C-alpha cells in the first residue's frame, strides 16, 4: 500500500502533509491529510493517533486549513489524520448532482445498492484500510486511537466508535447528525446507499446503536452550537442520542451547548483545542 506525498508544510514545528494512494476498498485514488507532531519528527517518539471525519461537501483539506488544530496537536503530541468524505471520480451517473448525496457525501456507510455499492464503502475505508495504512507508515501507538468529526463526520465518528467497542479509546463530535433515520439528510443518504429496509439503516444510526450498545464502557463527548441552523431544522437531533445514552449503563454522554455558535468552522476553531485536550486524556495515559 504505497503512499505518495503530495505536499508537506512546516507548521508549529511539526509537518502538515497530504498523501494520495490507490484505495483497494474504494476502487479509486484517495487523498488524506496527516499532521505529524514535532515529537514524532524530532524525537522519533511513537504517538497516539486521532482521526477526524469531515462533513458534507468537505474534502481532506477543509479541516487542516480552517480549524487551527495543528497548534493543539503539536502541544499534545498526537498525530491527526483526516480522510476525504467520499470516493472521487468513480464515474457513477449523478455522483456530482447534489451536495448531500454522492461526491462529498459518503456518510461513512458501506453502500449495498447499485451503482454505489462498488465504490461507496467509506465505513470500511475509515475503520480498516486507512487505519492499516497509518499503522504501517507512521510510528503510531495502534492501541491509542481516537476519533472525532463534524456534522456528517460527527455521525461517522459516533458510529465507528459504537460499532467497534474497544477499537477507539476516545470519541467526540461537533454538531453531529445523531439520529439519521429521523432527519432529511440521513433519510436521503441511507435510502440511496442502503435501500428501503430501515432495519439496515439502524446499523449506521448512532441513536439506535447507543440503545443497543453492550461493549466496553464508552464516553461520548457531544458538542453543539445553540445558534446552529441545522439544529433548528431538526437535522441533528442530539436529544435523541442523549436519551439513548441515559438509558444504557455502558455509555456516558457529555453534552456541551455553546451559546450563540453556529455550524461553521469558526465554531470548530473555537473549541477544537478543548476536543484535542479531551482526547489526550484518554490517549496519553
Non-local CB neighbours of 136 within 8 Å, separated by 6+ positions: 1
Contact 84, 90 (CB under 8 A): no
| Residue 1 confidence (pLDDT) | 65
Distance separating alpha carbons of residues 197 and 188, to the nearest angstrom: 13
Structurally, the chain folds into a number of domains equal to 1
Q: Catalytic amino acids?
A: 151, 228, 263
pLDDT at 255 over 90: yes
- What local confidence, expressed as pLDDT, does residue 115 receive? 98
* Residue with grid cell 456530482, as numbered in its chain: 96
User: For a pLDDT cut of 90, what percent of the chain falls above it?
Assistant: 97
* CATH assignment of the domain containing 267: 3.40.50.1820
**Which has the closest alpha carbon to 235: 151, 168, 167, 170?**
151
* pLDDT tens column, 106-148: 999 999 999 999 999 999 999 999 999 999 999 999 899 999 9
Least confident of 2-6, 40-44, 219-223: 40-44
pLDDT of 45 strictly over 90: no
Which cell numbers hold the place of 183? Answer: 432527519
Mean pLDDT of all residues in 232-238: 98
pLDDT at 99 over 90: yes
Q: What are phi and psi of 8, to 5 degrees?
A: -150, 130
Domain hosting residue 28, numbered range: 4-284
**Would you say residue 221 has pLDDT above 80?**
yes
pTM for the full predicted model = 0.98
- Residue 229 has a pLDDT of 98
Question: How far is it, in rounded angstroms, from Cα 99 to Cα 85?
Answer: 12
Residues 6 or more apart whose CB falls under 8 angstroms from that of 3 comprise 19, 20, 21, 133, 137
Query: For residue 69, which of 56, 52, 55, 84 has the smallest C-alpha distance?
Result: 52
Closest CA to 283 of 175, 140, 139: 140
Are the C-beta atoms of residues 70 and 117 closer than 8 Å to each other? no
Three-class SS of residue 150?
A: strand
Q: Cα–Cα distance between 95 and 103 in angstroms, integer?
A: 6
Q: What is the mean pLDDT of residues 43-66?
A: 96
Residue 53: C-alpha distances to residues 20, 32, 58, 130, 209 (Å): 17, 11, 10, 12, 19
At 281, which helix (H) or strand (E)? helix 265-283
Average pLDDT of span 8-25: 98
Please report which confidence band the pLDDT of residue 10 belongs to, taking 50, 70 and 90 as the band edges.
very high
Reading the block at residue 278, the C-alpha cell is 479531551
pLDDT at 261: 98
pLDDT at position 285 over 90:
no
Site of grid cell 456534522: 151
Amino acid at each position: 500500500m504505497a503512499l505518495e506525498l503530495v505536499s508537506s508544510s512546516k507548521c508549529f514545528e511539526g509537518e502538515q502533509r497530504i498523501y494520495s494512494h490507490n484505495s483497494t476498498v474504494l476502487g479509486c485514488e484517495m487523498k488524506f491529510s496527516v499532521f505529524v507532531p514535532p515529537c514524532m519528527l524530532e524525537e522519533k517518539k511513537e504517538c497516539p493517533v486521532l482521526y477526524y471525519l469531515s462533513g458534507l461537501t468537505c474534502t481532506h483539506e477543509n479541516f487542516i486549513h480552517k480549524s487551527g488544530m495543528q497548534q493543539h496537536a503539536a502541544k499534545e503530541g498526537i498525530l491527526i489524520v483526516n480522510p476525504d468524505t467520499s470516493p472521487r471520480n468513480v464515474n457513477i451517473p449523478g455522483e456530482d448532482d447534489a451536495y448531500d448525496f454522492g461526491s462529498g457525501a459518503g456518510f461513512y456507510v458501506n453502500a449495498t445498492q447499485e451503482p454505489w455499492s462498488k465504490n461507496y464503502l467509506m465505513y470500511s475505508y475509515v475503520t480498516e484500510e486507512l487505519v492499516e495504512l497509518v499503522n504501517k507508515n507512521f510510528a503510531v501507538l495502534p492501541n491509542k486511537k481516537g476519533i472525532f468529526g463534524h456534522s456528517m463526520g460527527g455521525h461517522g465518528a459516533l458510529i465507528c466508535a459504537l460499532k467497534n467497542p474497544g477499537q477507539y479509546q476516545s470519541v467526540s463530535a461537533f454538531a453531529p447528525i445523531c439520529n439519521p433515520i429521523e432527519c432529511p439528510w440521513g433519510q436521503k443518504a441511507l435510502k440511496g446507499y442502503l435501500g428501503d429496509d430501515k432495519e439496515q439503516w439502524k446499523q449506521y444510526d448512532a441513536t439506535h446503536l447507543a440503545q443497543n450498545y453492550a461493549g466496553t464502557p464508552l464516553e461520548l463527548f457531544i458538542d453543539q452550537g445553540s445558534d446552529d441552523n441545522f439544529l433548528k431544522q431538526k437535522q441533528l437531533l442530539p436529544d435523541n442520542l442523549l436519551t439513548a445514552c441515559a438509558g444504557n449503563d455502558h455509555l456516558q454522554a457529555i453534552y456541551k451547548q455553546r451559546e450563540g455558535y453556529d455550524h461553521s468552522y469558526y465554531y470548530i476553531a473555537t473549541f477544537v483545542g478543548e476536543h484535542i485536550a479531551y482526547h489526550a486524556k484518554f490517549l496519553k495515559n
